[in-house]
Amino acid sequence: MAVRGRWPRAIFYDSKTTLFDWGWSWKSAAEALVKKYGSTVDEQQFSQTWVRFFESHHRRTAFSQYTPVTETVTEALMDTFRAFGLPGSPDDVHAYTDLQQEVGLFPETESALQEQQDMDVKVWTYSDVERVYLDMYVSKFKAFRPDFVGSTEEAGFHKPNPLTYDWVLRQNGMYPRDVLFCAAPAFDVQGAMSAGLIAAWLQRPRTDGLLRNQAPSGRGIPPDYVIESLDDITEIIRANRGG
């Protein structure tokens, strides 16, 4: 665990599902596609199945050749159509891609990141989407500007391959011991920890009071911190700087 002093020098954030409400675009696209094909399929079930297929395909690419995330989303969508017996086509992925420019921030994102930056901490955001979509998300900030914005498209390695986290560190001239990583997906937290980073696992409560994410399965390494808001990162910084 970090000691009091100048740690952390930087906060390394996952972007989608951590800073930006990326899940909204999946749910909205699923709703539109179910309606398009006049299906009685439950929209939530369609969305969850699509995401599961995506995660399965995406993990396979983590330790092989880089594949644009949109291609993986499309492949997962076709698997979902087949699973529910719907006559969809690859062009239907536009129901998802056309919504990316509307992906918004979580309520506390901008104020929390600005406060952290004002504490003389670098704030990075990094994503497993093509840079064009990441730039759309980042454009939602009103006044805050990240110190670093990067994507796996630029690194050439997908998460949770440790090489992708190493790439971000090298781009910024820092060592794992300098940085606190924060993400909502459990696999992302464990990937960062495998690269030597101290990590905070973000579990935002849902509107019903339950947590959005499930605990890591199996024998995964427990995160250094479990938090419910980006404001908790601010408190971690303050505690480790003696303030």
pLDDT at 64: 85
Task: Examine the pLDDT at 128 and tell me if it is beyond 50.
Answer: yes
Rounded to 5 degrees, φ, ψ at 226 are -120, 125
pLDDT at 6: 78
Q: How far apart are CA 155 and CA 96, in angstroms?
A: 24
- Sign of the dihedral through C-alpha 93, 97, 99, 105: positive
Q: Which CATH class is domain 10-21+103-240?
A: alpha beta
Residue-range domain boundaries for the chain: 10-21+103-240, 23-101
Instruction: Round the average pLDDT of the chain to a whole number and report it.
Output: 91
Q: What is the mean pLDDT of residues 8-26?
A: 95
Rounding to the nearest 10 degrees, give the CA dihedral for residues 97, 100, 102, 107: 140
Point out which residues pair with 148 in neighbouring strands. Answer: 124
DSSP string, 164-194: HHHHHHHHHT--GGGEEEEESSHHHHHHHHH
Q: How far is CA 106 from the centre of its chain?
A: 12
Q: How far apart are CA 101 and CA 146, in angstroms?
A: 18
Among 48-57, 111-120, 178-187, 206-215, the range scoring the smallest mean pLDDT is: 206-215
pLDDT at 58: 86
- Sign of the dihedral through C-alpha 180, 201, 93, 80: positive
> How many residues are given for the chain?
243
| Of 115, 116, 112, 138, residue with least CA distance to 229 | 112
Task: Examine the pLDDT at 217 and tell me if it is beyond 50.
Answer: no
Rounded to 5 degrees, φ, ψ at 130 are -60, 150
Q: At what angle do helices 23-36 and 43-61 cross, to 10 degrees?
A: 120
pLDDT at 59: 84
Helices (H) and strands (E) in the chain, counts: 10, 6
Instruction: State the fold for domain 23-101.
Output: DNA polymerase; domain 1 (1.10.150)
pLDDT at 216: 47
Cis check: omega of the bond before 216, within 30 degrees of 0: no
